[in-house]
C-alpha cells in the first residue's frame, strides 16, 4: 500500500500542474512554453493560442474591475484574430472609436495623428458638429447618460412584481465545484402581467428562434426576421432608447434614428460563426438567449430567459456569489446554474429590468467602449459592463458585431 502513495502523489501533482498550464494565472508575459496547453505571451493573440483567461488577466484594459471571477468561455471566441480585411474607407465609419486593428481611421483626431482614411475629408470632415472632441466620450458622460437611462426605465418591475429566493451565497473559489447549494428555485413569484407589455412580448418572441448549440447554422423564417424588426420598433418607442439615441446623436455617432436602428440590427442580430458552420451565432442569441459550446453554457445573461426556463424545469439554480446593492429593481445577481445538463460557472444578470433597459446599456457600452470595461452609474451606485467585439468577420465597412456583453462589477 505504501508503495502506491508516491505514485498517487505524482499523478495528483501532475494533474494540478496541467490545470495550472491551462490558465494565465501567474504566467502573464512569460516566454512561449511548448509544454503548456495554451500561451500567455504577448504574441499569443496573433497566433490564436492564448489561454481563455489571457485577456482578463494579462491586458491592461481588463485589469480595472473584476471583483468576482468571470467565466472563461466568455472570452475564448472574442479574442482578436484579425482574420478579416481591415477597412480602408470611411464609408459608414465617421466618428467611430479608435480601433488599433484598422489600417486607417475616421475619428475626429485622425488628422492630428495623420492616420485618416483617404476619403475622410470628403465623407466626414464636413459633417455638422465634427470637432476634435466629438468622438471622445468621457467616463463622466457615460455615467451621466446611464443615470438618465436608469430613471427612464418606467417598464421595470416593481418590488411586488418579483419575489426572489436567493438562498445560499458561495465564495468565488467554489464556483467550479458544480454543487447545487439551493434546493429551491430562484424565482418564487413573477407577475407575468409584465410580459404583456409590448417590449417584453416582442423580446420573448425572439428567445426561441435559436439553436443553442454552436456549430448549427441559424436559418430565420420571414416571421422570425419580422420579429427582430418588431422588437427594435417597440423598444425605440421607449424613453430609455430615446435617451440613448439622443446622446449618441449629440456625440455625432449617428446622423438619424434610422441609421441608429439599422446599426443596432446589424451589431446584435447579424450572424457569424462560432463553430464549424457559417452563421451559427449572434450577439443577441449569445447574450440574451444563451448558447452551449464545448459542453459549457456561454452567454445567457437575462433574467426573463432564466425565469421562463426555470419555470419549464430546464434551469436549476445552484447558488450566487454577488448580490447588487440596489433595494429596488433593477438589481444585479451573479449566479451559478445548470441549463438542461450544462453548467454556467458565473452568469451575471440584471434582475427586474425591462428588455429595453438591458439592450440600451449593453449597446451604449459596446458603441462607446467596444472591447473594454464600461463604467456606469445606476441609482447612485457604480456598475461596470464588459463588452467584446467579434473580430473574425464584419458588416458594412469593417464594423464589428457584438461577441458578448455582461456585468463584471457592481462595486
**Residues annotated as catalytic (active site), given as ranges:** 286, 301, 344
d(CA 137, CA 139): 7
Q: Return the DSSP state at 400.
A: E
Per DSSP, the residues of 300-368 read --BHHHHHHHHHTT-EEEEEEEEE-S-SSSSEEEEEEEEETTEEEEEEEEEES--HHHHHHHHHHHHHH
d(CA 221, CA 27): 47
d(CA 198, CA 203): 8
> How many CA atoms, within 13 angstroms, populate the side-chain half-sphere of residue 368?
29
User: Helical H runs in 59-155?
Assistant: 73-76, 110-113, 120, 139-152
Phi, psi of 346 (to 5 degrees): -140, 115
d(CA 150, CA 330): 9
> How many CA atoms, within 13 angstroms, populate the side-chain half-sphere of residue 410?
18
Neighbours of 67 (CB within 10 A): 13
Nearest to 109 by CA among 93, 132, 143: 132
8 A C-beta contact, residue 331 and residue 163: no
**Any bridge partners for residue 302, and if so which?**
350
Query: Residue 184: which residues within 8 A CB-CB, separation 6 or more?
Result: 165, 167, 317
What is the gyration radius of the CA atoms in the chain, in angstroms?
A: 22
d(CA 101, CA 103): 7
Amino acid at each position: 500500500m505504501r508503495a502506491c502513495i508516491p505514485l498517487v502523489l505524482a499523478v495528483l501533482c501532475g494533474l494540478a500542474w496541467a490545470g495550472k498550464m491551462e490558465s494565465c494565472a501567474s504566467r502573464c508575459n512569460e516566454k512561449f512554453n511548448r509544454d503548456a496547453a495554451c500561451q500567455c505571451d504577448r504574441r499569443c493573440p496573433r497566433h490564436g493560442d492564448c489561454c481563455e483567461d489571457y485577456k482578463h488577466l494579462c491586458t491592461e484594459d481588463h485589469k480595472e474591475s473584476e471583483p468576482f471571477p468571470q467565466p472563461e468561455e466568455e472570452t475564448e471566441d472574442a479574442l482578436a484574430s484579425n482574420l478579416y480585411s481591415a477597412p480602408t474607407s470611411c464609408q459608414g465609419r465617421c466618428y467611430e472609436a479608435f480601433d488599433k486593428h484598422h489600417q486607417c481611421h475616421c475619428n475626429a483626431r485622425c488628422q492630428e495623428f495623420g492616420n485618416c482614411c483617404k476619403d475622410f475629408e470628403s465623407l466626414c470632415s464636413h459633417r455638422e458638429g465634427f470637432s476634435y472632441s466629438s468622438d471622445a466620450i468621457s467616463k463622466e458622460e457615460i455615467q451621466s447618460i446611464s443615470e438618465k437611462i436608469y430613471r427612464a426605465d418606467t417598464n421595470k418591475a416593481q418590488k411586488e412584481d418579483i419575489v426572489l429566493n436567493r438562498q445560499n451565497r458561495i465564495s468565488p473559489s467554489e464556483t467550479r465545484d458544480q454543487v447545487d447549494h439551493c434546493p429551491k428555485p430562484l424565482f418564487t413569484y413573477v407577475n407575468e402581467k409584465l410580459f404583456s407589455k409590448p417590449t417584453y412580448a416582442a423580446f420573448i418572441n425572439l428567445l426561441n428562434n435559436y439553436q443553442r448549440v454552436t456549430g448549427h447554422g441559424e436559418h430565420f423564417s420571414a416571421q422570425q426576421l419580422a420579429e427582430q424588426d418588431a422588437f427594435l420598433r417597440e423598444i425605440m418607442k421607449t424613453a430609455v432608447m430615446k435617451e440613448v439615441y439622443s446622446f449618441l446623436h449629440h456625440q455625432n455617432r449617428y446622423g438619424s434614428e434610422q441609421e441608429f436602428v439599422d446599426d443596432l440590427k446589424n451589431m446584435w442580430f447579424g450572424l457569424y460563426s462560432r463553430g464549424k458552420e457559417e452563421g451559427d451565432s449572434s450577439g443577441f442569441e449569445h447574450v440574451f438567449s444563451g448558447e452551449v459550446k464545448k459542453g459549457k453554457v456561454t452567454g445567457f445573461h437575462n433574467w426573463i430567459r432564466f425565469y421562463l426556463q426555470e419555470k419549464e424545469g430546464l434551469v436549476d439554480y445552484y447558488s450566487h456569489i454577488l448580490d447588487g446593492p440596489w433595494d429596488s429593481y433593477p438589481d444585479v445577481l451573479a449566479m451559478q446554474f445548470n441549463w438542461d445538463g450544462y453548467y454556467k460557472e458565473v452568469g451575471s444578470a440584471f434582475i427586474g429590468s425591462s428588455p429595453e433597459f438591458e439592450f440600451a446599456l449593453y449597446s451604449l457600452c459596446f458603441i462607446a467602449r467596444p472591447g473594454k470595461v464600461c463604467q456606469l452609474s445606476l441609482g447612485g451606485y457604480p456598475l461596470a459592463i464588459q463588452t467584446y467585439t467579434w473580430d473574425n468577420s464584419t458588416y458594412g465597412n469593417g464594423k464589428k458585431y457584438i461577441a458578448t456583453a455582461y456585468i463584471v462589477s457592481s462595486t
